[in-house]
Amino acid sequence: VVTALGITKQKRQLGYSVTSIKGSELAKTNEVNPINALQGRVAGVQIDQGAGGLFGNTKIIIRGNSTLGKNNQPIFVIDGVIMDNDIFSGEGRDFGNDLKNLNMEDFETVSVLKGSAAAALYGTRAINGVVLITSKKGTQRKGLGVSLNQTLSLSNPYKGPDFQNEFGGGSVGAFFTDNRDANYTSDQNWTTKVFPIDPVTGKPYIDRQIQREGENWGPRMLGQEVTNYDGTVTRYIPHPNNYLNAYQNGGGTNTNVAIDAATDRSSFRFSYNYNDAKGIYLNNSLKKNSFDLRVTHKITDRINIDISTAYTDFKGKNPPRLGGLDAFGSYNVGHMYTWVLPRNYDTKYWMQPDKYTSVLGGTPDPTNNAEPNKSPESRFWFNLYNDNYTQNEQMLRSRIALTADITSWAKVVLEGNINNLYRKTENKELGEKANFTGGSYSMGFNTKESKFLKAMVMMNKEVNKDLTISGYVGAESQDYKTTYSSSTTSGGLNYPGNFFIANSVNPQIVEGGTLNRRKLNSVYASADIAYKNQFFLQGTFRGDWSSALTYTNGSGNNFYKYPALSASWVFSETFKLPDWFSFGKLRSNIAALGGDTDPFSLNAGFALNGFSSANGVTVPSSTYSSSRVLQPNIQPVRKISKEIGLDLRFLKSKIGLDVSFYQDNTKNQILDITAPVESGVSSILINAGNIQNKGIEIAIDATPVSTKNFSWTTTLNYSRNRNLIVSLYPGRSEYNLGADIAEISTWAVVGKSYGILRSQINSIPSSVPGQPILRWRGDARAAFPQRSNYWQDVGDINAKFRTGWDNTFRYKNFTLNILLDAKIGGDFVLSSYRYGTHTGVFPNTLFGRDAAHGGITFTSKYDGITYDDGIIVKGVFDKGQSITQADGTSVDVGGLTFEEAYKKGFVEPTHLPQFGYRYGSSSTGVSDYWVVKSSWISLRQVAVSYAFNEKAFKKLRLKGLSVSIAGRDLLYLYNTLPYNFNPASNNSNNTAYSGENGFLPMTRNIVLSLRANF
């Protein structure tokens, strides 16, 4: 098993939990982000795919959220080089992080170091765990080895949410039952209910301006002949797949070629990978070229050198637009079809270029005074097809390691590596006005540079046949820096459609500076004792000096140390056990980890921001931070972990059981908290908080059947984590984690879990169980729940448990693999469900629309009109609530349920469209129903492969040939989200996020691969 610092140990020696997976198994998934390939395979690891599309980020958390910051994700280490695993904010577009630049075909193994004892030697960076990747090197064989892998993939968006397909576009209002459907009518509620009539032709038509309000409270879709927005005659029918029609089938090719060779003194391996793919989102694509070279050589009998370098060129284009509320003309497809476009909207018709582009150039939007009724929401398609947001990255990762044997039992290791990333982004927006005037162009550059040096002395001494002592001491130094610069046009472009900064109408906007600079120096030591190959004890120590914990005057608690102690006992070697008991090991550990904070956090006062432009002249800019004060003695973060576990094997290792129990406490969180108003500052940087995570992890593996021609191996993993906010700060019992979606915030509350969802717009419980306090709106004659306007707990983002089940069946040369994974419990903020209720696009808005849908038929005493869309609202009127009657008098209905007030004749039934519109409105809606339970079981992968007999291709000198077809994310066998929303819709990999603000459809991926070895 590969452990910390890339040191290989026997699994029996380990006093902590490590899960290893072969890189070849992960490569078969063809995932751009390697995190996705781990989903369902490792106990204790939470992996949630996001809505970022082709190369977007994925959330990964090991053993629960342990810090109050936004990032609780582990670090990734590939051959000693630490990779960035940045978080995405959830707004804008997600190009993913550095992990997408890795090539899984180069992975030998992937090891997940889950506990602090396992990860302690990586220091402050490993406070959230480590995913350790070991790359392949040359294999000794006769001649050169050549391997080729060619993959074709297809991504099919197969299902969106279940929309209602009975009623089309129209503003809120009631429907008449007196056969006046052919008339245009407005009632006192400023609402439309039926088609307007063209005064010239006398025929009904679809009013563009009314339907662009994005509401679906219009006429029933019965195939009526109507005049469309552009003057053509069409049938008024639903388009059930209009949301899916806004996407395309994605897919692409992935080609990997590797050449390797080895002798008893040297080895080399070179690989080239080319990935060309398009996403399901229109105009979303990637092109990636990766080169990897690793060379090892035995310089002398005592000196070895290991050199590797990897280079990736990544070009990404137009990832899906996420978050935000810019519904009109935005890129957010999920928002458009829940908030803007009606169910009668024919996507295939309106997405054609002649519908969204004016003959005068730009969009046929009323604001352009050009063909104002040609196309509804033409800006949406115009932007989607014409704007281009691209990102080009070059990543260079190089490493050199020199090992010198001092004696037969001691050696020195010297290592250095760099990991540099250069990123260029461009955003080209074509002008929407006549002649394509307007528009904008921006260009940005980012750099990340990491330099790392390490020196170690290692020893492994067999004292006698029973006792072996091994260990090492070492020192490291890492320097990390990120910079940025950006230029943006202002006021439009002088020459439309020409994208360069000097084309700006007004002086360009220029910004830039250093975002991040950290120096980390470290020392560490480890000692291992093995006795009779059955008792193992390991102690480690590490100390870090971090520049991030240094004040401007040079003081600070910038040195922090943490020890770890682990032990394992292979008791099956100590005691004589029954033959069916193959192996038994007890392990335990206790460890400490430390952590720092973001660079410059402890630097108050004047700060150089970089540069900006003033009247076209670039000048340096600086600020003085007077709104934030620092606690004078900031301490490093401290994490204490304890673990005990069992590893058991039965029936000649045909059945295995691995169980871990753990408890982590993370203290001294470095936080910004709101300062008292009288202090004169807005925030204070302090140490606070104690978060506890404890849980159980179980992994069962078995080989129920194993014959010459058939075998079945199965692995089941289960994990359950419970976290608790033990304390925060004296006088503080809650902390807003800042992940806001649809007016729902995520909080840390003392005595409760990390990730309590809270709302100030929940309904207010009344004295009648299950009936909230009601608000009355007289002009609409409608009742709906009253907002609380105070914080209430409405959910908890934490799952009850997670599990994965992996099965492999082999029959002769055929292999079938089936992987399921599941998440049970945890709440999710479904923003689109809220707005879809507001606009009437979901089935929950059907009941009460008319008599056929359960609506109450009544003749209003206010206007004498007969309606059939009445409902009896569940709830109780607040004290003092009065309702104006038809004769102008007022009646106090305070304390009455709506039903009681209705029976007394004080109120008429509320119009269902009025209720639904306000129930989900941003100004009046209540959050009760859009915080939903999120449990699911996914058929994550089904793969079939066939390995050809080598003899069949002997003349071609093939050493191996196989073909496979795999389906990824095939379907959800169980999904508790309403109306089949996609559970993989998280808008961010920020650990406090659990919700969406613009979703993607469920998408299955089919991968066809050919692998050949020469």
The token duo for 451 is 């330099």
Distance CA 679, CA 966 (A): 61
pLDDT at 180: 31
745 and 839, same structural domain? no
Shared domain for 525 and 636, answered yes or no, is yes
Check whether 415 has a pLDDT greater than 70: yes
Q: Which helix (H) or strand (E) holds 199?
A: none
Residue 179, domain member (yes or no): no
Percent of the chain topping pLDDT 70: 92
More confident residue, 344 or 208: 344
Is a pLDDT exceeding 70 seen at residue 1009? yes
Domain that holds residue 391: 4-136+256-319+386-753+798-826
Q: Is residue 22 part of a domain?
A: yes
Please provide the distance, in angstroms rounded to a whole number, between the alpha carbons at the two ends of the chain.
29
Which residue, of 930, 957, 990, is where some domain finishes? 930
Domain boundary among 930, 949, 967: 930
pLDDT of residue 408: 92
570 in the same domain as 462: yes
Residue 756 has pLDDT above 80, yes or no: yes
Residues 421-448: b if buried by 16+ CB within 10 A, e if exposed? bebebebbbbbbbbebbbbbbbbbebeb
Burial class (CB in 10 A: 0-12, 13-18, 19+), 473: middle
Per the domain annotation, does 979 fall within a domain?
no
DSSP state, residue 337: I
Distance of CA 712 to the CA centre of its chain: 34
Specify whether 432 is located in the same domain as 285.
Answer: yes
Residue 516 near residue 482 (C-beta atoms within 8 A): yes
- The 10s digit of each residue's pLDDT in 534-588 is 999 999 999 999 999 998 888 899 999 989 999 999 999 999 999 999 999 999 9
- Establish if 208 belongs to a structural domain: no
Q: Is residue 921 part of a domain?
A: yes
Residue 212 scores a pLDDT above 80: no
Question: For residue 867, is it within any domain?
Answer: yes
pLDDT tens sequence across 110-162: 999 998 999 888 888 889 999 999 999 998 888 899 999 999 999 999 999 99
Assess contact for 226 and 202: CB atoms under 8 A. Answer: no
Confidence of residue 983 (pLDDT cuts 50, 70, 90): very high
Per DSSP, what are the bridge partners of residue 451?
A: 418, 479
Is the domain of 508 the same as that of 590?
yes
DSSP letter string, 32-59: SSHHHHTTTTSTTEEEEEBS-GGG--EE
CB atoms closer than 10 angstroms to residue 582? 17
601 and 714 inside one domain:
yes
Higher confidence at residue 921 or residue 410? 410
d(CA 215, CA 915): 13
* CATH value at residue 402: 2.40.170
Residue 444 lies in a domain: yes
Query: Can you tell me which residue has the tokens 């610069």?
Result: 485
Nearest to 320 by CA among 348, 280, 266: 280
- CA angle 408/412/415 to nearest 5° reads 145
Q: What is the pLDDT of residues 62-100, one digit of tens each?
A: 999 998 877 888 999 999 999 877 765 555 678 888 889
CA distances from residue 527 to 261, 465, 478, 567, 664 in whole angstroms, order as listed: 36, 19, 24, 12, 24
- 426 pLDDT band (50/70/90 cuts)? very high
- Integer Cα distance of 227 and 236 in angstroms: 9
Final residue of a structural domain among 913, 930, 947 = 930
pLDDT tens, residue by residue, 783-826 = 999 999 999 999 999 999 999 999 999 999 999 999 999 999 99
The better pLDDT of the pair 458, 325 is held by 458
Q: What is the pTM of this model?
A: 0.91
Q: Do 311 and 432 belong to one domain? A: yes
Please write the tens of the pLDDT for every residue from 630-660. 888 899 999 999 999 999 999 999 999 999 9
SS3 630: strand
What integer is the mean pLDDT of 985-1007? Answer: 86
CA dihedral 962, 968, 972, 977 (to 10 degrees): 170
The amino acid sitting at 501 is I
- pLDDT score, position 185: 40
Sorting pLDDT into bands at 50, 70 and 90, what band is 608? low
What domain count does the chain have? 2
- pLDDT of the residue at 377: 76
Confidence class for position 193, pLDDT limits 50, 70, 90: low
Q: 355-375: per-residue pLDDT in tens?
A: 888 877 887 764 544 444 456
Least confident of 173-177, 604-608, 717-721: 173-177
Q: Is the pLDDT of residue 532 over 70?
A: yes
Q: Is residue 152 part of a domain?
A: no
Residues 539 and 590 in one domain: yes
Mean pLDDT for all residues in the chain: 88
Summarised one tens digit per residue, pLDDT across range 857-913 is: 999 999 888 889 999 999 999 999 999 999 999 999 999 999 999 999 999 999 999
Write out 769-838 in H/E/C secondary structure.
CCCEEEEEECCCCEEEECECCCCEEEEECCCCEEEEEEEEEEECCEEEEEEEEEEECCEEEEHHHHHHHH
Residues 493 and 543 in one domain: yes
Report the DSSP beta bridge partners of residue 170: 216
Same domain, 492 and 615: yes
Both 816 and 912 in one domain: the answer is no
Q: In the structure encoding, which two tokens stand for residue 839, read together? A: 């606009």
735 and 783 both lie in a single domain: no
